[in-house]
Amino acid sequence: MSKAIAFWDTSALAPLCVEEATSRQAQSLLKRYLPVVWWATVIEMHSAIYRLYRLKQIDDHGKQAAFSRLALLQRGWKEILPGDSLRQLATSLLNSYSLSAADSLQLAAALIWCQERPSNKHIICADRRLAAAAQSAGFSVLELSASFP
């Protein structure tokens, strides 16, 4: 049986690279859903890993392990590339939802991925604001939660 495909926000991928409260849940979802991501996700992931390192929440070994896990993830994900239609869609989403520019680009990339037909399509994320906007846009949201058993 082949895996389903889902759009993964950076907030859901980070626990796959660095141990967090939601790591087990993210790993479980990765077994079921192949990731589709926005083109800048790798940059956001590098930023998150370096931030954790600067804050001394991970050490040199943890940083290298996180980058190794990220490299493995990159081999298996599909990227939605930037373009004029994505930029225009992201801009219009800012009028409809209370999103940051980066989250607007994430949601626009998800909509481009599903050809703007989000019914029965999944977004996996740990960002409540993005999750709410994605659900309002018609996606089925799989939100990571620290209370996952």
pLDDT tens, the chain, 149 aa long: 578 999 999 999 999 999 999 999 999 999 999 999 999 999 999 999 999 999 999 999 999 999 999 999 999 999 999 999 999 999 999 999 999 999 999 999 999 999 999 999 999 999 999 999 999 999 999 999 865 44
- Give the CATH H-level superfamily of domain 4-143: 5'-nuclease (3.40.50.1010)
What pLDDT score does 25 carry?
A: 96
What pLDDT score does 54 carry?
A: 98
- How many angstroms separate the CA atoms of 49 and 124, rounded? 19
- How many angstroms separate the CA atoms of 24 and 96, rounded? 33
Number of H helices, E strands in the chain: 7, 5
- How many angstroms separate the CA atoms of 147 and 69, rounded? 24
Residue holding tokens 């801009």? 91
Locate the domains of the chain by residue range: 4-143
What pLDDT score does 149 carry?
A: 47
Q: Name the percent of the chain in helix, strand, coil, to the closest 5.
A: 55, 15, 30
Q: In what order do the strands lie in the sheet with 122-125?
A: 78-80, 33-38, 4-8, 122-125, 140-143
What pLDDT score does 77 carry?
A: 97
pTM of the complete model = 0.94
What pLDDT score does 148 carry?
A: 47
**By the 8 A CB rule, do 130 and 11 touch?**
yes
Cα–Cα–Cα angle for 27, 34, 16, rounded to 5 degrees = 30
Which is nearest to 48 in space by CA: 101, 12, 8?
Answer: 12
